[in-house]
Amino acid sequence: PDYFINFAANSFVGCSWDMAHNHMQTNCMAVLHQLEAIRRHHPKCRYYNAGSSEEFGDVIVAPQSEEHPLRPRSPYGASKCAARHLVKVYRDSYNLYAVQGWLFNHEGVRRGEEFVTRKITKHVARIFMQLQRRAEVTPLQLGNLDSKR
């Protein structure tokens, strides 16, 4: 291929504490295998790896830049940091076109229902359907709104 764009990841930070090995395999080792395949079979391929704001962890300044120190606070963040370093090592060592970008909060139709934005939007749709049927509207139940990472 001319381009390889890697968005694949285990991305739920909370699960990374119970499944650290799995997160490292998926988020880091897979990147190693991808880069190695590109190096061996198609070194002209342009590679992009999706990083995460979780790599920065406890931020010192905002907004962050590529020079901002990495201070991950979870196995997920650490796995994405390791992948970041692999991308740089392969770029520098093998002269590959390999880059990484950092994604911050984003939403989409495949966002898991364990995330608050999906809980809210799903409940809004439920309320709409209840109003259409003139049924009793059920209240939205959310967890700890003061939660922090």
Given 11, 16, 55, 76, the catalytic residue = 76
Distance of CA 21 to the CA centre of its chain: 16
Q: Is 52 part of the annotated catalytic residue set? A: yes
Given 52, 55, 74, 90, the catalytic residue = 52
Exposed/middle/buried for residue 121 (C-beta within 10 Å: 0-12, 13-18, 19+)? middle
Q: Is 90 part of the annotated catalytic residue set? A: no
Q: Is 67 part of the annotated catalytic residue set? A: no
Given 54, 74, 79, 90, the catalytic residue = 54
Q: What is the CA radius of gyration of the chain?
A: 19
Exposed/middle/buried for residue 32 (C-beta within 10 Å: 0-12, 13-18, 19+)? middle
Instruction: Report phi then psi at 71, rounded to 5.
Output: -140, 60
By annotation, the residues acting in catalysis are 52, 54, 76
